[in-house]
Structure formats: structure tokens, C-alpha cells
Structure 1
Amino acid sequence: MRKADLRRTALARRLALDAGEVARRSDKLRENLFRQFPVAQWQWLHLFLPLLKRNEPDIWFFIRWVWGEELPLRLAVPVVQPDGVSLKHYELLPDTQLTQNRWGIDEPVPHPITAPEVFPQILDAVLVPLLAVDRSGQRVGYGGGFYDRFLVQCRPGTQLIGLNLLNEAPVRRIADVLPTDVPLTAYITPGRVWRF
């Protein structure tokens, strides 16, 4: 299947979920991550703040759990840069001030104390938004290429973990993978974890 077809059908299925179902499935994603991966051994986890109007996984379940358990794990989130194509990354702390970008996604206001910059080379794991994935770990996102440009900057061995609210198995093959696409190392749905 081609990315555009996968994107269209997956987004329609995800948008059909009600708020309660999004919350329930988001918590299941959190459970699967913390049960199946050595999160307590990581120093840095990069995650995305959800675009709730598109029914993205509610990552605040992950964030509140990390802060509530007082894990030593540090969290980083992306900020789209003025060029409109690149990301910088900043630490997310309980007192980090957030502002919405032009797509309605919360982003930290960069600050040397409450939101210092974080560089991709230090990340142990990255939670990656997606709409579909294939059996080799190639993913379909919204098509902007933000994450592919970011993930290639991460050091070898960084866990690249896709999250999907839909209980969708990987498709056999995405037909139009680009040479610049970066494959995932794992994929989590509410019901299962796949590793590539």
C-alpha cells in the first residue's frame, strides 16, 4: 500500500474514536511501554505532546506517570523551528511553560532553567507518532518529514518506538518508502508490541 492511502484510512479510523476510548487506549500504550521496555534504565526519553483534535495518543498519561513515580528519567519534547521544517528539542519539567504552535500542538517555551535544549545524540528512546507501520518498521506519519530529519540525528542504539492508538498489525509493505525514511525499532499498540 502507498503512504497516502494508509494515512487517509488510518486517520479516519482514529478520528472515529471517542474521548473515553482515546484515554483508555492511551493508558494501555503507557502500560505496554513500561512493561516491555527498560524505561527505568533510560536517562532520556523523547516524546511528542499530542494533537488532541487528531486523536493522537494522549502522551500526558506517560508524563504524569513518570513525574508521579518520581523516576530519574528525564523527558524531552520537540519544538518546530521558524524554518517550518526542522525541530529542536527541550526538556519538559513540571514548571515548563507551554505555548501552542500553528498546528495547535503544545510546545515548551525555551528557557535555560525550565526548558533547556536537549540534543538528539543523548536520547535513549524516542516515542514516535504514526498512522501506520510495515513489517520492516517503516512508518507513515502526516507527511511532513519532521521525524525522519530528527531520527537520523539520534545515536545508534536509540530505541525508536512508534505508538498507535489503533490495534493495527504492521502492513506487509509500504510501497513508497524513501531512502531518507528512518525505520523504527519497535511498535506499540494498546494490544501488542512488535520489535523490528
Structure 2
Amino acid sequence: MLKKQARKIYDQKRLELTYTDRLKWDDLILINFQTVETPQLHAVFSFYPMEERNEVNAFIVTDYLHFRNPSLQICYPKMEIDVPNMEAMACHADTIFEANEINILEPLEATTVDPLDIDLVLVPMLICDVRGNRVGFGKGYYDRYLSRCRPDCLKVGLSYFAPVAQIDDADEFDVPLDFCITPEKVYVF
């Protein structure tokens, strides 16, 4: 399957999900995430889920991680649309978020965290294949960012759907996931 085809199919499938199904599946994703053994985490880079795109609720995972480790630093992306570039920004409970020009919520005032200090990245996605090749919205922000992280930084995709057999046009710039957490199971790559 080509990325363009996967993007169209899984974007539509996700948009067709009911609110009730998403709530149930988000809980199952959290339950499955809790089975993954992670090293001691100091900084996690997450994403602010786009409600209008029916993205997986990453907050339940970050809330769980923060509950386990109250000193954990949770970061969210700040994008430079024209470059394109993205940085992890250290956030806290009082951080104010505002939509950028492509309608992604970003922290208004926060401190940049070096990619080498990030231990785990929760990666937004539409679908991946059985080798961990992820399909997002095709702008490459996350692949560029992940290439700057340490090799041992865990790359975790959250998806409502099981991986497809193959993304045929994955290339050398695509950074594969280490895990994909779905409502049914944890996929390890």
C-alpha cells in the first residue's frame, strides 16, 4: 500500500469512529501501553490530539506516565511551518496552548528541550506497517525530529488500527517506530 492510499483510507476510517468507540478504544490503548516495560523516563515528547481528526487521546498515556513519575517532563511540539522544523517544548499544568496556522495546538511560552534529552516520543499517526513504518499527514516533521533523538529513544505510535502488511513507498528518511499500541495489542518492531 502506498502512503497516499493509506492516508486516504485510514483518515476516513478514523473520522467515521464514534465518540463512544474512541473513548473505549483509548482506554484499551492505555491498558496495553501499561504492559510495555520502559526504562526510567525523564522527558517524554507527546502530541496534543486533534479532536476534529479523531486522533488517539495521548493525554491518558502522559497522565499515566506522570502519575508514575511526578518529576517527569512532558513536552509538546512547537512547529516552524515554513522551514519545516519542530521542537519539543517543556510544558506544565498551567501551560497555555494556541492553534498555529495549520490548526495544531502549540504551547505559547515554554522552554525548548534538546532532542537528545527525550527518552520516549508518542508519535501521532494514521497507520503503520508490520515493520513500524508510520504514515502520518506527510509533512515529515516527526521523521526529521526523530532523526535528531538518541538511538535508544523509544518511538511509540498510538493507533486505533492494526498495522497493514507493507507501506511500499517508505524511504530512508522515514524513522520506524519501536512500538505501536492499538486497542487489541502491542506491536513490537
1:144 aligns with 2:139: yes
Provide, for residues 77-97 of structure 1, a one-character-per-residue CA deviation record: whole Å limited to 9, x for no partner. 111115251101111200111
Provide, for residues 77-125 of structure 1, a one-character-per-residue CA deviation record: whole Å limited to 9, x for no partner. 1111152511011112001111111232221112xxxx22111111111
Provide, for residues 117-156 of structure 1, a one-character-per-residue CA deviation record: whole Å limited to 9, x for no partner. 1111111110111111112111111111111111000011
Who is 1:118 aligned against?
Answer: 113
List runs of 5+ in structure 1 lacking aligned partners: none
Provide, for residues 6-33 of structure 1, a one-character-per-residue CA deviation record: whole Å limited to 9, x for no partner. 1111111111111222222122222222
- Alignment-mate amino acid for residue 137 of structure 2: Y
**Separation in structure 1 between the aligned mates of residue 94 and residue 188 of structure 2, nearest angstrom:** 35
Check the 8 A contact 2:43/2:120 in 1, yes or no: yes
Who is 1:43 aligned against?
Answer: 42
Range moving further from structure 2, 127-136 or 76-85? 76-85
**1:79-118 paired onto structure 2 within 5 Å:** 79-110=78-109, 115-118=110-113
Q: Secondary structure at the match of 1:135?
A: coil
Check the 8 A contact 2:98/2:106 in 1, yes or no: yes
Check the 8 A contact 2:132/2:178 in 1, yes or no: yes
Measured after TM superposition, the shift of residue 36 of structure 1 is: 1.5
**Separation in structure 1 between the aligned mates of residue 80 and residue 99 of structure 2, nearest angstrom:** 13
List runs of 5+ in structure 2 lacking aligned partners: none
Who is 2:179 aligned against?
Answer: 186
**Separation in structure 2 between the aligned mates of residue 27 and residue 85 of structure 1, nearest angstrom:** 33
TM-score under structure 1 length normalisation: 0.89
Q: How many residues align?
A: 189
Who is 2:29 aligned against?
Answer: 29
Q: Secondary structure at the match of 2:88?
A: strand
- Alignment-mate amino acid for residue 18 of structure 2: D
Range moving further from structure 2, 81-90 or 133-142? 81-90
Measured after TM superposition, the shift of residue 74 of structure 1 is: 1.5
TM-score under structure 2 length normalisation: 0.92
Who is 2:72 aligned against?
Answer: 73
Provide, for residues 25-50 of structure 1, a one-character-per-residue CA deviation record: whole Å limited to 9, x for no partner. 122222222222326x2111111101
**Separation in structure 2 between the aligned mates of residue 81 and residue 103 of structure 1, nearest angstrom:** 11
Measured after TM superposition, the shift of residue 65 of structure 1 is: 3.5
Q: Residue 159 of structure 1 is aligned with which of 151, 154, 173?
A: 154
